[in-house]
């Protein structure tokens, strides 16, 4: 009987020694867009209530996705309050830190921006120029504008809205 208790004690100790609790895995992020007037807005996670295009240099866009192809194109569309596409932007992204350029249109190298790994997915940041562009020069009505983002190789389109103040 003593031998059985001794073996049981050794086995119990072996099972508990050095074993760490299972690592928690972050749930996948929900695909989303966050907008800001600066990188600081994106970092704080708080979207401003209005976007005064007349005073802005850039519109900052952060897209979060649960997964990322090796190389993808992110297309962003800005839509006026009546739903018309006013401007757009496309940019290559990769989570591979060694990928700096890829073959773009007409045989030209195109820069590849970094998709940053975060808990549960990836984030892609983009600054869209506002200052000195048609977004400042063309008269428009104040109102709620739409922002759409699509990542090649990923299903669905992400949407967000922003209240634009024309000054």
Residue by residue, pLDDT tens for the chain (167 residues) are: 444 444 444 444 444 555 555 567 778 899 999 999 999 999 998 889 899 998 999 999 999 999 999 999 999 999 999 999 999 999 999 999 888 887 766 777 888 999 999 999 999 999 999 999 988 887 677 899 999 999 999 999 999 999 998 76
- What is the domain range of residue 134? 28-165
Q: 11 lies in a domain?
A: no
Q: 51 lies in a domain?
A: yes
> 143 in helix, strand or coil?
strand
pLDDT of the residue at 101 = 81
Q: 18 lies in a domain?
A: no
Domain CATH number, residue 127: 2.60.40.1930
In the chain, the number of structural domains is: 1
Q: 154 lies in a domain?
A: yes
Q: 20 lies in a domain?
A: no
**pTM for the whole thing?**
0.81
Rounded-to-integer distance, Cα 14 and Cα 107, Å: 62
């Amino acid at each position: 009987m003593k031998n059985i208790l001794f073996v049981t004690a050794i086995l119990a100790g072996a099972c508990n020694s050095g074993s760490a609790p299972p690592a928690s895995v972050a749930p996948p992020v929900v695909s989303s867009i966050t907008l800001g007037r600066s990188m600081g807005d994106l970092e704080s996670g708080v979207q401003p209530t209005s976007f005064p295009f007349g005073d802005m240099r850039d519109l900052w866009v952060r897209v979060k996705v649960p997964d990322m192809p090796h190389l993808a194109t992110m297309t962003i569309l800005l839509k006026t309050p009546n739903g018309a596409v006013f401007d757009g932007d496309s940019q290559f992204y990769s989570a591979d830190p060694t990928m700096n350029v890829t073959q773009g249109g007409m045989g030209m190298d195109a820069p590849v921006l970094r998709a940053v790994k975060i808990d549960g997915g990836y984030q892609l940041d983009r600054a869209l120029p506002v200052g000195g562009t048609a977004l400042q020069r063309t008269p428009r009505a104040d109102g709620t504008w739409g922002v759409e983002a699509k990542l090649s190789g990923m299903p669905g389109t992400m949407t967000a809205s922003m209240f634009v103040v024309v000054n």
